[in-house]
């Protein structure tokens, strides 16, 4: 099975500061990678997904961007954080097939003040 690492685990940032969250994957190659945001311990909002290096699809317009510089590395960034960017960010991975289970990282809790 796949193992997803995320860091940092918790982050407190001022409004207007930059952001970089990192996700790395072990146990697979050429995975599909995803960034989700979860607000208030409820539903998941898909932010970005990637089917390969340098290939990023955005699901919703927003203040964030994503990059995939290596096969098993996925980065979520912002140039200037907003209060509304606060939330729990989850990175996930799967192997791309129709029956595939998604594997999730432990998450990063971001608080923008």
Partner 1 sequence: AQSVAQPEDQVNVAEGNPLTVKCTYSVSGNPYLFWYVQYPNRGLQFLLKYITGDNLVKGSYGFEAEFNKSQTSFHLKKPSALVSDSALYFCAVRLRNTGGFKTIFGAGTRLFVKA
Q: Which residues contact partner 1 (rule: CB under 8 A)? A: 4, 32, 41-44, 46, 49, 51, 57, 88, 90, 92, 94, 96-107, 109
Distance between CA atoms of residues 57 and 19, nearest Å: 19
Helices (H), 1-113: none
What is the smallest separation between the CB atom of 12 and partner 1, expressed in angstroms?
15
What is the smallest separation between the CB atom of 105 and partner 1, expressed in angstroms?
5
What is the smallest separation between the CB atom of 55 and partner 1, expressed in angstroms?
8
What is the smallest separation between the CB atom of 90 and partner 1, expressed in angstroms?
6
Distance between CA atoms of residues 11 and 110, nearest Å: 5
Distance between CA atoms of residues 83 and 98, nearest Å: 37
Nearest Cα residue to 64 out of 47, 52, 51: 47
| Both structure tokens of 97 | 């097939």
């Amino acid at each position: 099975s796949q193992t997803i690492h995320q860091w940092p685990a918790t982050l407190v940032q001022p409004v207007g500061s930059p952001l970089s969250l990192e996700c790395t994957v072990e146990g697979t190659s050429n995975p599909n990678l995803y960034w989700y945001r979860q607000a208030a311990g409820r539903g998941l909002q898909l932010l970005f997904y990637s089917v390969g290096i340098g290939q990023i699809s955005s699901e919703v317009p927003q203040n964030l961007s994503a990059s995939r510089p290596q096969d098993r590395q996925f980065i979520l960034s912002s140039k200037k954080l907003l209060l509304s960017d606060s939330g729990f960010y989850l990175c996930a991975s799967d192997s791309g097939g129709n029956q595939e289970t998604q594997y999730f990282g432990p998450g990063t809790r971001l608080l923008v003040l």
